[in-house]
Homo-oligomer: A and B are copies of this chain.
Amino acid sequence: MKRTLDGLVRSLGCEFRQPALLEAAVTHRSAGSRNNERLEFLGDAVLGFVIAECLFEKFPEASEGQLSRLRASLVKRETLAEVARELDLGDYLRLGSGELKSGGFRRDSILADALEAILGAILLDRGYEACHACIHRLFTDKLARLSSADELKDPKTLLQELLQSRHLGLPVYEVTSVTGKAHRQHFVVACRVVDLDLSVTGEGSNRRGAEQASARRMLDQVEARV
């Protein structure tokens, strides 16, 4: 017996004009050809955008790299599966018999994909504003908890922690130029990580600002190496 989707609709706080879209969204590919794979593509895209927009507004001082890291932490599989579990989404999934037997309704990847597909279905059925509002509702707590998150430590601290976690030597900062008059000085600082043979520069109106800017850039470089 399939469970009806009324409870899910209530949890989502979003009525469907075309219930077949919600049906498709909870249908794993193992259960039929009218499944949630295309909707997941759409939902993933709208979720990524709406979360990006929230973060951009919420953290006016965050760099592009920090915003990217914050977003990745919110839209990763494990976080989406948590949100899905808060909706008891596993109870509503349509799975093929193999997936059912192996407990697919508890699996992070299946839950996360179905959540994204539901967002895609809401977008198609109710339009962008309704989908936007639903994403805000579903992620309110997670967004609120971000303010104290690791990702918002300052770049120098983050870089130091990252290098230590990999047993690499600490970065070296050096002022390479100071230009401009006393009250409008411009600093350029070089940040070097000798163990990785990396060197970048950062600029700012004071030494500390230039150091943080160089650390931020170095963080991106070090992370890109992984």
Contacts and interface: CB of A to CB of B under 8 A. Distances in A.
B56 A52 contact: no
Given A128-B128, A203-B33, A52 B42 contact: yes
A64 B37 CA distance: 6
Contacts of A169: none
Contacts of A40: 64
Given A33-B204, A40-B64, A49 B56 contact: no
A153 B199 CA distance: 45
Nearest to A55: B41
A62 B209 CA distance: 49
Main secondary structure of the interface of A (DSSP, over half): helix
Of the four ranges (under 10, 10 to 19, 20 to 34, 35 or more), the interface on chain A belongs to: 20 to 34
Interface in A29-52: 33, 37-38, 40-42, 44-46, 48-49, 52
A37 to B, nearest CB: 4
B45 A53 contact: yes
Contacts of A42: 52-53, 56
A52 B63 contact: no
A223 B189 CA distance: 42
Contacts of A203: 33
A67 B38 contact: yes
7 contacts: A37-B63, A38-B56, A41-B64, A45-B52, A46-B52, A46-B53, A53-B123
- 7 closest cross-chain pairs (CB), A and B: A45-B52, A49-B49, A37-B64, A45-B49, A41-B64, A41-B67, A42-B56
